[in-house]
Amino acid sequence: MGYSMRSMRDIMKKLSLNGEVRDLLRQFNLSPQIANKAASVKKLSEGLGVDVHRTDLPRGMAGRLVQDPFSESSYAIEVNKSHDVRSQRFTVLHELGHFLLHADRTDFLAEPMHLNRSSDEFYFDTTQEQEANDFADTLLFGDGALAAAHSLYRGDVPSLAHYFGVTEPMVKVALRKFGVV
C-alpha cells in the first residue's frame, strides 16, 4: 500500500521544502476560511509559483499538471472549466500534490509529466494518484480542521462543504477518512 498522509507533519516529512513553502501550506491548513469564504486555492498555488488556468479539457478529465515556461516554477495547473468550481478547487490541490510530490522541478526542460491521466496512452500510477489525493485531503481537512468544523457546524454537511469550498460528497468521504463520524 502507498504512503498515506493524514497530518501536516506527514506532508512535511514527505517534502524537502524551504520554510516559505512550508508556511504557505500550514497557513492554508490553519485558515480554511477567510472573510466567510473558503481560502483561495489559486492564491496558494500561485504562491508556490504554479499558475492556474481554467480551460476546456477532455470529458472526464478534471485537471492536469503541465509544463509552462512562463510560470515562476515552470509548471501550471489546468482545470476543467466545465466542472463545478468546488470540484475545481479540489483538483487544484490534487495537482499541487503532484507538483510537490512527483514533478521533477530540477530539470525545467524535462518531458511533460502525466499530461493526460485519464488516457491509456500515458503512464498512470495509482500510487501517485492516491498520494495526490491524500495531500489534498490532508491540506484541506487534516490536523483537526475537519473535526473542529464538524463540531462548529454540528455535522451539517452542506455547511461543511461551504466552509471548505468543496462538494458535499468530498466532505462525506473526508468524514469517514479522518474518522470524524
43-82 pLDDT, tens per residue?
A: 999 999 999 999 999 888 999 999 888 889 989 999 999 9
Residues 119, 172: Cα–Cα separation, whole Å: 28
Question: pLDDT value at position 1?
Answer: 38
With 0-12 CB in 10 A as exposed, 13-18 as middle and 19+ as buried, what is 121?
exposed
Q: Which residue has the cell 473542529?
A: 148
Mean pLDDT of 26-41: 91
More confident: 13 or 112 = 13
CA distance 100 to 14: 9
153 close to 171: Cβ distance less than 8 angstroms: no
Is it the case that residue 17 has pLDDT exceeding 80?
Answer: no
pLDDT greater than 50 at residue 121 = no
pLDDT of residue 125: 66
Q: Are 86 and 167 in contact (CB under 8 A)?
A: yes
Question: E-strand spans in 30-85?
Answer: 33-34, 37-38, 51-55, 63-67, 75-80
| Other residues' Cβ atoms within 10 Å of the Cβ of residue 55 | 14
Which amino acid appears at position 60 of this protein? G
What pTM did the predictor assign? Answer: 0.87
